[in-house]
Amino acid sequence: MLRNQSGISVYTVLSIILFVALVFILAVPNFYNLDKEKNVEDCINNMKQIWVATTDYMRDTNADFSGDISLLTKTPKVNDPKNKYLQNSLYCPETSRQKTEYIVYGKYVAEQIGTEVKHNYGVIIFCPNLAKFPKHILPKAFYENMDPTQLQNYMIEDMDYIDKETGSNGARKVELLNKYVEIWKTDTNAFTKRKENSTALRAILFPDKFGAVETPAE
């Protein structure tokens, strides 16, 4: 058997080299986040968890959610004090070493219908890396079994429209989603406008498609 001066066989050396190469090949995708489809799936699953946690939090508080996700990880559930609304912090797997929070905003609208009050909760969430990874967005199908309120349904339809109109242009998608969040933050009549006209808020985002519209109230 061939041996080098140290007495180690050539076959042993080749085996070690092949083993190291195999380990490297298996490790590279995880180290550099090359498994894009899995990252998309993991990111969407993160957003699903945050959406559920935010919606539960809003149902217990009947108030807007500012976007501070730490509230969800620190606050015990009203009906289950042993658990928090969100068990731990979640981050996009594309930049796991850069801990950037997901963008979240929750709108609460109390609607008086006769003698009853109808509570509407709507949550908007998107990935902080959406500009670079435009597939990192909650699909419309996710909400089908989540018993969404009328307000959430409005948001679902509008966000789906934004997603389809922007396609693979992640930067444009982020720009419009941020503008959409600002509409709900600043326009106290946004819910009424959207209820009366299904394209009212989209027209603000896409004036070329829908024509000039009234800007949100300060």
Domain coverage including residue 117: 33-210
Which range among 15-29, 35-49, 98-112, 202-216 shows the weakest confidence by mean pLDDT? 15-29
Domain count, the chain: 2
Residues 24 and 53 both lie in one domain: no
Residues 57 and 162 both lie in one domain: yes
End-to-end Cα spacing for the chain = 84
For residues 102 and 127, the answer to whether their CB atoms sit within 8 Å is yes
Q: Is the residue at 216 inside a domain?
A: no
pTM for this prediction: 0.80
Residues 14 and 24 both lie in one domain: yes
User: Is 2's pLDDT higher than 70?
Assistant: no
pLDDT cut 90: percent of the chain above it: 73
- Per-residue pLDDT tens over the stretch 91-145: 999 986 778 999 999 999 999 888 999 999 999 999 999 999 999 999 999 998 8
Q: Is the residue at 11 inside a domain?
A: yes
d(C-alpha 203, C-alpha 194), whole Å? 11
Specify the pLDDT at position 26: 54
Residues 76 and 155 both lie in one domain: yes
DSSP H or E stretch at residue 22: helix 10-31
Specify the pLDDT at position 38: 93
Specify the pLDDT at position 218: 47
